[in-house]
Chain A
Amino acid sequence: MKRYLVLEDGQQYVGEAFGADVVATGELVFSTGMSGYQESITDQSYNGEILMFTYPLIGNYGMNRDDSESITPTCRGIVVHELARRSSNWRADLSLDDYLKQHQIPGISGIDTRAVTRHIREKGALKATLVNEVTEETVAQLQATILPTNQVATSTTQTPYPSPAMGRKIVVVDFGLKHSILRELNQRQCNVTVLPATATAADVLALYPDGVLLSNGPGDPKAVPSALAMIREVERSVPVFGICLGHQLFALANGADTFKMKFGHRGFNHPVREIATGRIDFTSQNHGYAVERQSLAATELMVTHEEINDQTVEGLRHRQYPAFSVQYHPDAAPGPHDAAHLFDEFMDLIDTHKLTAQERNRHHA
C-alpha cells in the first residue's frame, strides 16, 4: 500500500505504508543515531512528533521487552528509508511493524530520509503529515493545523508512584520521563518517588527528598509554566538535577530564556565540552529548544557545558544553590554512556549538601 509524507511547504514524498493504518500529523524531526530506534520510538520527548531516521535500515533487530523507555509511545509517526523485511536478533519479541500496529502509530518506508533531512536542515522545523491519499486540500489543511502544545500533560504520569530502594530519597518530577533515568537511580540504590508534572513545591518537599530530579520531556518548556514556581522554591533547600526539558525549566525558573532551534539536536553523537576541564563527552541528545546564552548574563546561572559544533548551552550550574542541569541525556538509552558519571555527581552533591546542612543545624542548635 502506498503512503505519502507531505510537508507544510508542499513537498511530497511517496513511500510504502507500514505500521498502523491511520493518518498522522506532527512536526517532522530527524534522528541521526545508527541504532536504538526502540528507545527513540518509546522516548516521550518525541511526543507529537513524526520521527525520521537517517540511518538507512530500521527494524532489523525488531522490538524487545527490555529496551523500551516508556510503556506507551507517543510519537505520531515513523519515517524510514528501508524497513527490514524480518527482524533477526535473539532478543527480538516482535517486529517493528507489529509494534507500531499495536500502538496505533503509522510508518512509511522507502523514503530517502537523508534527502528529507537536508531539506529540513535548510528550511527549519516543518509540520508534516502521513496520509494514504493526497488531495488538493492536504497541504492547506496541514498548514492550517495548529499542533498541540500540551505534550507534557499527555506524557507525564497521572498519579505519583514509588520505585523503592534503601538509599537516598529522590523525587523525580515526571515531564515525560525516560525509564533509563529510573534505571540509573535504581542502580545507585535511590529510593525514588515519581510525581506528576503538576507537582507543587509543597508536594515535593512533603516527601523530604535528599534530591530532586527534573526529568526530560517533550515540547516547548514555556508550555509548562506551573513548574517554574516549584523549581524556584525547591532549589533553595534541596539539591536539584535537571535533564533535557528539566534543564530548560531550571533555566527559565532562574530568569533565563529559551528559544526554538532551527532543527534541533537529535542523535547520539553530539560532542559536548565540559568547560571547567575541556573534556569532551559524546552525548545522546533529543531537543528542539535550547537555553539562550545571552539571557544567562542577568541570572545566577553559569554555563558548564556547551556543544562544540554550534556552541549551544548544554549544561548549567547555579552559583548559589546546589543545583545543576544538562541539556543532553546522561542516561543515554540509546547512545554513549560517557556522561553517566553525572548521576554520581548528583549523589556527591546530595551527600555534600547533607553534611553542610547538618553542620548548619549544629551551629544553630
Chain B
Amino acid sequence: MAREIIDAMTMRRVLTRITYEIIEKNKGVDNLVFVGIKTRGIYIAQRLATRLAQLENIEVPVGSLDITLYRDDYHAASVTADPDVKAADIPVDITGKHIILIDDVLFTGRTVRAALDELMDLGRPAKISLAVLVDRGHRELPIRPDFIGKNIPTSLDEQVHVEVSEVDGHDSVTIEKLTK
C-alpha cells in the first residue's frame, strides 16, 4: 500500500522554504538559472521561479533537461544502463551562470550525473547547485544536494512517487513497498 509522506500543504511549505534558502545562500539572485530535470523536476523549478518572482520581483530563467532512464519498473539500486540525456531546453547561455539543478527525487545520483554532463557540454557555468524535493538516500555516486525538501530514509525495495498538480492533478509524495 502506498503511504502519503508529503501532502499538498507540506509540499507548498517545503518549496517555499527552499526558495528562502536559495535567497539566503546566494548573495543576490541575479545570476541564477533554474534547470528542472524531466517531467516533475521542471514543474518544481517553475514553482520555485514563481515564488522568487513574487518575493524579489526577479524573473529567473527556467530550463529543462529530458533524461531517459533505462530502468526496470522497480528501482533496483544497480541499474544496468546509465541514464541518457535526450534533450535540453535552456533559454539562456549558461556560461558564467549559477545553475540550480532541480529534481523531484534524489536516489542513486546517476540522473544528476547525466544532467551535469549535459550542462557541461552546453557551456561553462560558474557554479551548479542541486535542489531536490525528496532525498531518499542510496547514492552510488559522490553527489549531495544543496537544498533538500525532505530527507526520507528508504529501503531499496521501496518506491517513492512524486505527484504534482500540473501532471497528476494533485500534489503528494507517497512511498510504496514493492512486491516482487
* Chain A residues engaging chain B, CB cutoff 8 angstroms: 274-279, 302, 304, 317-322, 324, 341, 344-345, 348-349, 352, 355
Contacts and interface: CB of A to CB of B under 8 A. Distances in A.
B123 to A, nearest CB: 28
A276 B19 contact: yes
Interface of B: 9, 12-14, 16-17, 19-21, 23-24, 27, 51, 54-56, 148
A57 B116 CA distance: 66
A345 B55 contact: no
A279 B17 contact: no
A295 to B, nearest CB: 18
Given A275-B54, A276-B51, A319 B24 contact: yes
B175 to A, nearest CB: 19
Contacts of B55: 275-276, 302, 304
Given A348-B17, A349-B17, A277 B12 contact: yes
The SS class assigned to the A binding surface is mixed
Contacts of B17: 345, 348-349, 352
Contacts of B27: 320
Contact of B54 (A276, A322, A344): A276
Contacts of B56: 302
Contacts of A321: 24
B6 to A, nearest CB: 12
B165 to A, nearest CB: 13
Question: 10 nearest interchain CB pairs?
Answer: A276-B51, A276-B16, A275-B54, A276-B55, A276-B54, A317-B20, A319-B23, A275-B55, A341-B13, A276-B19
B24 A318 contact: yes
With most chain B CB atoms within 10 A of its CB, the pick from A279, A321, A348, A349 is A348
B31 to A, nearest CB: 15
A348 B18 CA distance: 11
A277 B16 contact: yes
Nearest to B53: A276
Contacts of B54: 275-278
Contacts of A349: 17
A320 B130 CA distance: 19
Contacts of A274: 16
Contacts of B51: 276-277
